[in-house]
Amino acid sequence: MGAIGIVVNKDGTVPNNPVRRIDKSGSTDNYPISNLKTNKSFNVSREPVLQKGSTQIELLYNGKSQNNISIQYREYRDEFVRPAYTQILSYNLDESSIIAYKSLNIEVLSATNSEIIFRVLNDGELTWM
């Protein structure tokens, strides 16, 4: 399994290729974001520090079959997966390109069996995290 994230420089600016993909072997590749305005910046406060007893949450894209996408939700406590807090979520894109989980609303722009391109419409301030 791999991961995808957005890189932001320590000063809050966005680098030229801010999308970082890490594959299961640990190799990384960076990609550009289309339609990114170069004057965008973020306030960087600090990197998250996982403390003993803290919870980490992941949404992992598992792929697409016909027009159904599969996403796995996992919670970790102290770096161990919590089996009772693991779910496979399935969404039919024929019904809607907007998917929701708890307070998170995502518009799926395109999806293949190995890649998903999406836009977060509303994170609901992720109060459930």
Residue 99 included in any domain: yes
Q: Write out the two tokens for 46.
A: 């600090």
**Residue 87: inside a domain, yes or no?**
yes
Number of compact structural domains in the chain = 1
Asked whether residue 46 is domain-assigned, the answer is: no
Asked if residue 1 has pLDDT above 90, the reply is: no
19 occurs within a structural domain: no
User: What residues make up the domain containing 67?
Assistant: 55-126
Q: Are 14 and 36 in contact (CB under 8 A)?
A: yes
Computed over every residue of the chain, the mean pLDDT equals 78
**Is 27 inside any structural domain?**
no
Confidence of residue 38 (pLDDT cuts 50, 70, 90): low
- Residue 50: band (very low, low, confident or very high) from pLDDT cuts 50, 70, 90: low
Instruction: Report in angstroms the alpha-carbon separations of 115 from 2, 34, 56, 79.
Output: 11, 16, 23, 26
Q: Is residue 85 part of a domain?
A: yes
Q: Is residue 81 part of a domain?
A: yes
DSSP string, the chain: --EEEE---TTSBPPSS-EEEE-TTS-EEEE--TT--TT-B--------PPTT-EEEEEEEEEEETTEEEEEEEEEETTEEEEEEEEEEEEETTT-SEEEETTEEEEEEEE-SS-EEEEEEE-GGGTT-
In a domain, 102, yes or no: yes
pTM: 0.57
